[in-house]
Structure 1
Amino acid sequence: MPLEADVLAAFPAEVQIPAELVADAVAASSAASPRVLVVLDDDPTGTQSVADLPVLTRWDVADFTWAFSHIRENNLKSAVYVLTNTRSLDPAEAAARNEEIVRNALAAAGNTAGAAEGQALRLGFVSRSDSTLRGHYPLEPDVIAATVAAETGEATDGVVIVPAFPDAGRVTIGGVHYMRGTGADAGTLTPVAETEFAKDASFGFANSEMAKYVEEKSKGRFAADSVIVLDLNIIRAGAAAADPVISAKAIADAIESATDSTPIVADIVTENDFRALALGLEEAERRGKKLLYRVGPPFVRGRIGQEIRAQLSGEEAYAGNTPSEAGGLIVVGSHVGVTTRQLKALTEQHSAARIVEIDVEKLLGDSAASYLDETVETVVESLRTGDVIVHTSRLLIKTDDAAESLRIARTVSAAVVAVVNRTLKTFPPRFVIAKGGITSSDVAAHGLEIRHAIVRGPMLPGIVSLWEPVDGPAKGIPYIVFAGNVGDDQSLADVTRKLSNTF
């Protein structure tokens, strides 16, 4: 495993760029024609890097109208997240959902919702996916580009691919995507194709070099040598003069040749790199380039010029609401290694919590209905005296068939949702934490019946998102979206401790 310091030694130092500089550039470009970024988030964990933005779990025209109006009326940064949950869908379903969302967003914008009188509302589209490269690529940006072209006549010149998530240890250097080591391996880099995530049953891959990843996933439609690579020499072109304008021009110049959805991959190691990239993309779009984005969680924060939000305290999590005296509900569905370790740490430290394991084999058997009834009864009674940790059995039932893997995942998720929803309607918990991407998506949209929410900010530095539901039966209950693959072994316990009254 290479050392990060050695890999970075070949490149310039980062250029210091305040978030305000990006925000000012975005505001200037939006002065005559306001722009909102519509973030199609394939699971809800993409919100963990932003704060004070609206999020939708439904995408009717009326939902977008609410979001655009909320942004305008509250003078928020111009972005809205749409929880698509497409990582849990097969390709045909994912394509149909992306198309429907883009059409409805454009229809709402066409009604000038959210813009001042007489001003048209422009939309930019972001396909937010996994920082470890799992998801429907290139399908989703392809569908977004085709739908925009069909609805507006506007062709996409480039698809900017930025999976980096430094807060969670994912960085891209020299066009190669890495995971940072932790513990004894701190300071090292592991190419992402050599991690457990590359072996995903539905979205596995073989290449860590992003240009080759694009060629692999596009089945050769985009050859590796046709991919534009914005390495750190370009992103940090202004380092010698400490001038971000130089970097912005270098980035815009580098993508000048992009046409017909040319893939563009970007090196990112720090927040300043995100901001440099944002200024470069602003300049490219000012010159007339039409871009879509396929990105990891922090890209949007940098792109809109939002400051990094400090982690929320327990008091801030309940601000404006009176917390219930009931216990909290912690729901764990993810099976990646870090989640299993986090669950182990939580159960060992939180001795007052009741642990309820959902047996996946029983969910797939003939007695699933009665088994669910028993589980709900146990959860409700336990919440009356303290926190409850509900987790699926850690034995992952694997199959080589991607479609069957998704079917099993859906069956398990449906059961988890049913437990949460029936518990909510019977005895609402003090808080809800959902661990895992698909789990947290389904718990939000169906278990808690959240339609509209506001992302308040992170519960840990740069990761783990707090949503405040603004309507529905979960209104007033803090909902914590916790990705399966982020944090250290103590992170789940740390977040639970902030919210619990018995830990």
Structure 2
Amino acid sequence: MSETKIIAIDDDPTGSQTVHSCLLLTSWDVETLLVALQDDSPLFFILSNTRSMDAARAAEVTRAICVNLKRALHELKQQGRAINPIVVSRSDSTLRGHYPVETDIIAEELGPFDAHFLIPAFFEAGRFTRDSIHYLLVDGEAVPVHETEFARDSVFGFSTARLPDYVEEKTGGRIKATQVQRFLLDDVRSDCRKRLRGLAGNVCCVVDCETQADLNQFAEQLQEVAREGKRYLFRSAASLLTALAELPAQPVNADDMAYYVRDGNPGIILIGSHVAKTSAQLAYLRQHTDVVPVCVDVERLNVNNAEVWLEQAALVANALIAEVEAAHARGKTVVIHTSREELKFPTQAERLAFGERISAFLMDLVRRLPTTIGFLISKGGITSNDVLSTGLGLRQSRVLGQILTGCSVIRCPADHNRYPNLPVVIFPGNVGDETALARAYSILTTQQKKQAISGAG
């Protein structure tokens, strides 16, 4: 039997939101991949950030990752260590992303696969699949995902929550809904190993699951059959990774994450996500805590002329950093957030290009934050990927655990040139209720509050 390793090619950095102690890679050169393949953790993540790209660029990046991964696997095999990878194209639990672009490229470069599975469940955030229809819990009510704001995404919109029909829609009819194999709840909750062994030709399968126990049982059977030599590809959200990895409890309890805050200092909360849930969390945070808000007015940065853009961006950035430094000197945590109105653009390409310019602007701010900040909360998947790879310049980092359901904590290395040992919270845009961001802030500032009470006494 071959050794297995779970490899998640993640289209933003939030797929680690149910696991811990594994590596996140923002670089995918062969040398870095060899380190991750030989790491003790049963899984690792390659952060492609393709959800922020157009389809052509997403395909190019995915192919580059797969080519290098194939080389790294071959090199290990030559050394006598054969690995049969369990490859997961990790994406959004609300069905947004470059499907089937990414799974097609992975199949071309790392295949052949016997099947590819769509499993978008993320139970911690109330996303599950029943009778092949994918649901989100909204105020306690199960709502088909195509009836939510996520289905109206200007880049990744879709018209149906029934997964076989979603596959037909997204593949342009190349895979018909009737060709999709459905693993219903009765199948998942029984012995389906014989059926799994019979899959061939990269057939598309969709999987029901209402609870983590459903997925755990299904994943156990998948892995058993994979160890026999069957090869499967997955397009999933985070809960499948929980099932595949089978990790013990995280080393540091969520409520004790203030342990990592540097010297009990105030921090920075950076908000790039503009989904409605993030806006509600920001409003609650401002109303119920003592954070100092600093707004990035994106309209002021909506400039097409490159020279004018640079001048305007410099003026805006200098003013914002002055506000941040003044508040930090007073012992206050600052929340830097983009203005909440999403600008409209004539084309998808123009929208993506403007998003890249705004991200570059925010990363310039990250590189200029006070060196003594105690922590950083990054809100939004694309924003968080850019914080790790560009703002902080990390080639790899290790997930410490979750501070809240779905919110991972990593830490900068001790030899980081600007922010050694800085804890960073990766907080997805569409996770948590309206109090969640304030709760994460409260956990991280527990030590600071204790010090303030002690000083007052």
- Following TM superposition, by how much is the alpha carbon of 1:224 offset from its aligned partner in structure 2, in angstroms? 0.2
**What corresponds to 1:219 in structure 2?**
172
Contact 2:252 2:400 in 1 (8 A): no
SS at 1:177's partner residue?
strand
**What corresponds to 1:22 in structure 2?**
none
| One-letter identity of the residue aligned with 2:132 | G
SS at 2:262's partner residue?
coil
1:431 and 1:267 mapped to 2: Cα distance? 39
**What corresponds to 1:242 in structure 2?**
none
Q: TM-score, normalised by structure 1?
A: 0.83
**What corresponds to 2:454 in structure 1?**
none
Alignment RMSD, CA only?
Answer: 2.0
**What corresponds to 1:491 in structure 2?**
436
Residue from 275, 278, 302 that aligns with 1:364: 302
1:409 and 1:267 mapped to 2: Cα distance? 35
Which runs of no fewer than 5 residues in structure 1 stay unpaired? 1-31, 150-154, 238-246
| 1:57 counterpart = 2:26 | yes
**What corresponds to 2:123 in structure 1?**
166
Residue from 83, 102, 108 that aligns with 2:66: 102
**What corresponds to 2:377 in structure 1?**
433
| 1:235 counterpart = 2:188 | yes
- Following TM superposition, by how much is the alpha carbon of 1:469 offset from its aligned partner in structure 2, in angstroms? 2.6
Residue from 122, 129, 132 that aligns with 2:94: 132
**What corresponds to 1:415 in structure 2?**
361
**What corresponds to 1:328 in structure 2?**
267
| One-letter identity of the residue aligned with 2:377 | I
Contact 1:465 1:480 in 2 (8 A): yes
Contact 2:151 2:159 in 1 (8 A): yes
After the TM superposition, which residues 370-389 of structure 1 pair with which residues of structure 2 at under 5 Å, given as runs? 370-384=315-329, 385-389=331-335
1:410 and 1:430 mapped to 2: Cα distance? 27
**What corresponds to 2:36 in structure 1?**
67
SS at 1:429's partner residue?
coil
Q: Which is worse superposed, 102-111 or 82-91?
A: 102-111
Q: Which is worse superposed, 355-364 or 473-482?
A: 473-482
| One-letter identity of the residue aligned with 1:54 | L
Contact 2:215 2:240 in 1 (8 A): yes
Instruction: Quickly say closer, same or farther: Cα 1:256–1:66, change in 2 above 3 A.
Output: closer
1:452 and 1:200 mapped to 2: Cα distance? 30
| One-letter identity of the residue aligned with 1:463 | G
Contact 2:114 2:231 in 1 (8 A): yes
Q: 1:378-412: per-residue Cα shift (whole Å, max 9, x none)? A: 22232222200000000110235222221122122
| One-letter identity of the residue aligned with 1:126 | V
| 1:442 counterpart = 2:395 | no
2:439 and 2:235 mapped to 1: Cα distance? 31
**What corresponds to 2:207 in structure 1?**
266
SS at 1:479's partner residue?
strand
| 1:475 counterpart = 2:420 | yes
**What corresponds to 1:253 in structure 2?**
194
Q: Which is worse superposed, 211-220 or 285-294?
A: 285-294
Which runs of no fewer than 5 residues in structure 2 stay unpaired? 450-457
SS at 2:199's partner residue?
coil
**What corresponds to 1:465 in structure 2?**
408
Query: After the TM superposition, which parts of structure 1 deviate over 6 Å for at least 4 consecutive aligned residues?
Result: none
Contact 1:110 1:121 in 2 (8 A): no
2:316 and 2:429 mapped to 1: Cα distance? 26
SS at 2:76's partner residue?
coil
Contact 2:265 2:448 in 1 (8 A): no
SS at 1:104's partner residue?
helix
**What corresponds to 2:239 in structure 1?**
298
2:314 and 2:157 mapped to 1: Cα distance? 33
- Following TM superposition, by how much is the alpha carbon of 1:332 offset from its aligned partner in structure 2, in angstroms? 0.8
| 1:45 counterpart = 2:39 | no
Q: Which is worse superposed, 287-296 or 50-59?
A: 287-296
**What corresponds to 2:452 in structure 1?**
none
SS at 1:111's partner residue?
helix
Residue from 390, 397, 421 that aligns with 1:453: 397
SS at 1:221's partner residue?
coil
Residue from 76, 89, 92 that aligns with 1:112: 76
| One-letter identity of the residue aligned with 1:206 | S
Contact 1:301 1:307 in 2 (8 A): no
| One-letter identity of the residue aligned with 1:364 | N
- Following TM superposition, by how much is the alpha carbon of 1:308 offset from its aligned partner in structure 2, in angstroms? 5.6
**What corresponds to 1:29 in structure 2?**
none
Q: TM-score, normalised by structure 2?
A: 0.91
Instruction: Quickly say closer, same or farther: Cα 1:330–1:316, change in 2 above 3 A.
Output: closer
**What corresponds to 2:132 in structure 1?**
175
Instruction: Quickly say closer, same or farther: Cα 1:258–1:401, change in 2 above 3 A.
Output: farther
| 1:35 counterpart = 2:4 | yes
Q: 1:178-237: per-residue Cα shift (whole Å, max 9, x none)? A: 01132xxx2x21000000000001000001000000000000000001001111010112
Contact 1:456 1:466 in 2 (8 A): yes
Residue from 144, 147, 151 that aligns with 2:106: 144
| One-letter identity of the residue aligned with 1:181 | V
2:184 and 2:228 mapped to 1: Cα distance? 21
Count how many residue pairs are aligned between Structure 1 and Structure 2: 438
SS at 1:50's partner residue?
coil
Contact 1:228 1:254 in 2 (8 A): no
Instruction: Quickly say closer, same or farther: Cα 1:310–1:213, change in 2 above 3 A.
Output: farther
- Following TM superposition, by how much is the alpha carbon of 1:258 offset from its aligned partner in structure 2, in angstroms? 3.2
**What corresponds to 1:210 in structure 2?**
163
- Percent identity over paired residues: 34
2:134 and 2:426 mapped to 1: Cα distance? 25
- Following TM superposition, by how much is the alpha carbon of 1:286 offset from its aligned partner in structure 2, in angstroms? 4.2
SS at 1:298's partner residue?
helix
**What corresponds to 2:455 in structure 1?**
none
| One-letter identity of the residue aligned with 1:456 | L
2:208 and 2:159 mapped to 1: Cα distance? 19
Contact 1:433 1:481 in 2 (8 A): yes
